[in-house]
């Protein structure tokens, strides 16, 4: 595994551990947290190049990101999105979030190329992908009769781990 859960580490939600591991973070992005959560859940476990290709199809509205988290707990239905054609079910095309995830995956692949000379970055797998709420810019919107309502702007922090699992089998076959 690439991380030890239960132990804190500054910056990331997981403790980094592993020999073939590359990471990348994006902090305080102006995109929707719920879209980022759905994308992170979908691309976790995918090959990095396959994830980029799929997200480019999402940006072109040829494929959709399946939305699985329910927003009305215990009431059934309402997954924040309508159904799409085919067998996928509810989903959307989050353009802005997909663009940021593509940048993040490319950054992690470039980090892997800089760190490891013998590993091909295109063969790496996304082992951890998370979206968390970042800073909140608080503000007030003036209303009628001297009142005001809060106008808060929420930002998102993204993190991704890429790991390479190949070449262990070839070393064992020598004798």
CATH code (residue 101): 3.90.470.10
Residue 78 lies in a domain: yes
Quote the CA–CA distance of 12 and 93 in Å, as a whole number: 27
Residue 139 lies in a domain: yes
Considering the chain, what is the average pLDDT of its residues? Answer: 83
Q: Which residues pair with 131 in a beta bridge?
A: 158
DSSP H or E run through 110: helix 95-115
Number of domains in the chain: 1
What was the pLDDT predicted at 35?
92
* Residue 47: pLDDT over 90: yes
The pTM of the full predicted model, rounded to 2 decimals, is: 0.80
What was the pLDDT predicted at 92?
85
* Residue 173: pLDDT over 60: no
Residue 4 lies in a domain: no
Residue 160 lies in a domain: yes
What was the pLDDT predicted at 75?
54
Quote the CA–CA distance of 128 and 134 in Å, as a whole number: 18
What residues make up the domain containing 46?
Answer: 18-172
pLDDT band at 171 (very low <50, low <70, confident <90, very high): very low
pLDDT band at 143 (very low <50, low <70, confident <90, very high): very high
Quote the CA–CA distance of 69 and 6 in Å, as a whole number: 24
What was the pLDDT predicted at 124?
93
pLDDT band at 165 (very low <50, low <70, confident <90, very high): confident
Residue 83 lies in a domain: yes
Residue 6 lies in a domain: no
16-50 b/e (C-beta count within 10 Å ≥ 16 → b): eeeebbbbbebeebebebbbbbbbbbbbbebebee
What was the pLDDT predicted at 43?
96
Residue 92 lies in a domain: yes
- Average pLDDT on 40-54 reads 95
Residue 13 lies in a domain: no
Q: Give the 3-state secondary structure of residue 7.
A: coil
In tens, the pLDDT along 72-126 reads: 555 555 556 766 666 677 788 899 999 999 999 999 999 999 998 888 989 999 9
- Of the candidates 102, 148, 149, the residue with the CA atom closest to the CA atom of residue 126: 102
What was the pLDDT predicted at 66?
87
Between 69 and 36, the more confident residue is 36
Quote the CA–CA distance of 86 and 18 in Å, as a whole number: 39
What was the pLDDT predicted at 11?
66
- Average pLDDT on 127-150 reads 93
């Amino acid at each position: 595994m690439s991380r030890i859960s239960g132990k804190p580490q500054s910056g990331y939600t997981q403790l980094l551990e592993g020999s073939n591991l590359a990471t990348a973070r994006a902090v305080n992005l102006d995109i929707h947290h719920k879209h980022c959560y759905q994308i992170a859940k979908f691309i976790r476990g995918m090959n990095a190049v396959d994830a980029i290709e799929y997200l480019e199809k999402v940006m072109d509205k040829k494929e959709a990101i399946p939305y699985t988290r329910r927003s009305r707990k215990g009431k059934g239905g309402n997954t924040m999105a309508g159904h799409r054609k085919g067998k996928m079910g509810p989903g959307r095309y989050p353009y802005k979030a997909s663009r940021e995830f593509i940048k993040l995956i490319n950054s992690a692949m470039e980090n892997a190329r800089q760190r490891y000379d013998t590993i091909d970055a295109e063969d790496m797998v996304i082992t951890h992908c998370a979206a968390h709420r970042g800073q909140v810019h608080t503000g007030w919107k003036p209303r009628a009769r001297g009142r005001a309502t809060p106008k808060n702007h929420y930002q998102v922090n993204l993190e991704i781990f890429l790991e390479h699992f190949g070449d262990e089998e070839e070393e064992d076959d020598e004798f």
